[in-house]
Amino acid sequence: MTLSIEQQADIEAARAQSTATRRATVPALENMLYEAVPVLDHGFVRVIDYMGDDAAIVQAARVSYGKGTRHVTEDAGLIRYLMRHRHSTPFEMCEIKYHIKLPIFVARQWIRHRTANVNEYSARYSVMDREFYIPAPEHLAAQSVSNRQGRGDVLQGEEAATVLRLLREDAETCHTHYLAMLNENGTDPERQGLARELARMNLTLNTYTQWYWKTDLHNLLHFLSLRADPHAQYEIRVYADAMIRSVEAWVPLAMAAFREYRLGAFTFSAAMLAVLRRRLNGEAVRQENSGLSRREWLDMEAALSAQEGA
């Protein structure tokens, strides 16, 4: 990731400011404010603002006036209870705002999470930068033969080199034509240039965009449970991983409970629990007589194997 001199100066100026407040602050997250955490080749994640902390979750659950005389261990126990039983409202009392730079195709996947406030860089008003995501060779994989949404073996040799060349050439060519259609620099005084809102249609989906993304903790954790999962697409998973670090600094008790009951957990259906009970009673249960579909059976076995190997 490369920041311009102006961007770096803006970040340093923002980090140099300090404002007195009566509201709760979290020193660990304060230290991260505005700092750009690199993601992919040109992307980043920055925490811009936040509201609340672990105590705000507890306060909302108890509807109390303040922290009172409760101990941290009691707060941790309550947060774990709320997470375990999926009580969402107390976690909605905390909010966080990120500035994120990401490829357009990742943004289109990300925007499926509709429980956030989003304001994106507008190509109707501004010219898009000449920055494109080009995968590292180890992330250049073929289509999976068993998963329509996943990747298979990593491409090798000439095939990989050809794909990388096409990605670069196509992105560069389309952006060059985009600028030519705009005629922003007046290189051709006989032309007005195409409107920005139309010229943008020529950009490739690996072009970088930026947005401000604000959400509450409950919906952020739901986002992370899906996008930090090992099955998530790599290009969005690395953003989730970067955001997890900021959440750990912000609400460490809630994050520890989230890791225990969501990230590191597996939900068993009623039919799966019935299979487990039969196994505990000594019965040798097979998929054919389990009442589970083959996919459900494989998911259950994978979860159990992961726990045994942990």
Q: Is 153 annotated among the ligand-binding residues?
A: no
Q: Is 42 annotated among the ligand-binding residues?
A: no
Q: Is 279 annotated among the ligand-binding residues?
A: no
Q: Is 87 annotated among the ligand-binding residues?
A: no
Phi/psi at 96 (5° precision): -145, 145
Buried b or exposed e, range 285-297, using 16+ CB within 10 angstroms: beeeebbbeeebb
The rounded distance, in Å, linking the Cα atoms of 121 and 210 is 5
Residue closest to 126 by CA, chosen among 205, 200, 43, 212: 200
Active site residue 22: no
Q: Is 79 annotated among the ligand-binding residues?
A: no
Token pair for 146: 């068993």
Q: Is 177 annotated among the ligand-binding residues?
A: no
Give strand ranges (E) for the chain.
37-39, 43-51, 95-103, 117-120, 141-143, 151-154, 208-216
Q: Is 175 annotated among the ligand-binding residues?
A: no
CB 134 within 8 A of CB 167: yes
Catalytic residue among 151, 227, 245, 259: 227
Token pair for 184: 């922003």
Q: Is 112 annotated among the ligand-binding residues?
A: yes
Q: Is 200 annotated among the ligand-binding residues?
A: yes
Residue closest to 107 by CA, chosen among 182, 172, 40: 40
Q: Residue 177, SS3?
A: helix
Q: Is 40 annotated among the ligand-binding residues?
A: no
Q: Is 62 annotated among the ligand-binding residues?
A: no
CB 60 within 8 A of CB 95: no
Written as one string, the DSSP assignment of 47-58 is EEEEE--HHHHH
Q: Is 85 annotated among the ligand-binding residues?
A: no
The residues with which 208 forms a beta bridge, in sequence order, are 103
Q: Is 299 annotated among the ligand-binding residues?
A: no
Q: Is 211 annotated among the ligand-binding residues?
A: no
Binding-site annotation: residue ranges for dUMP: 109-112, 120-124, 200, 227
Binding-site annotation: residue ranges for FAD: 89, 112-114, 120, 216-218, 222
Binding-site annotation: residue ranges: 89, 109-114, 120-124, 200, 216-218, 222, 227
Return the active site residues: 227
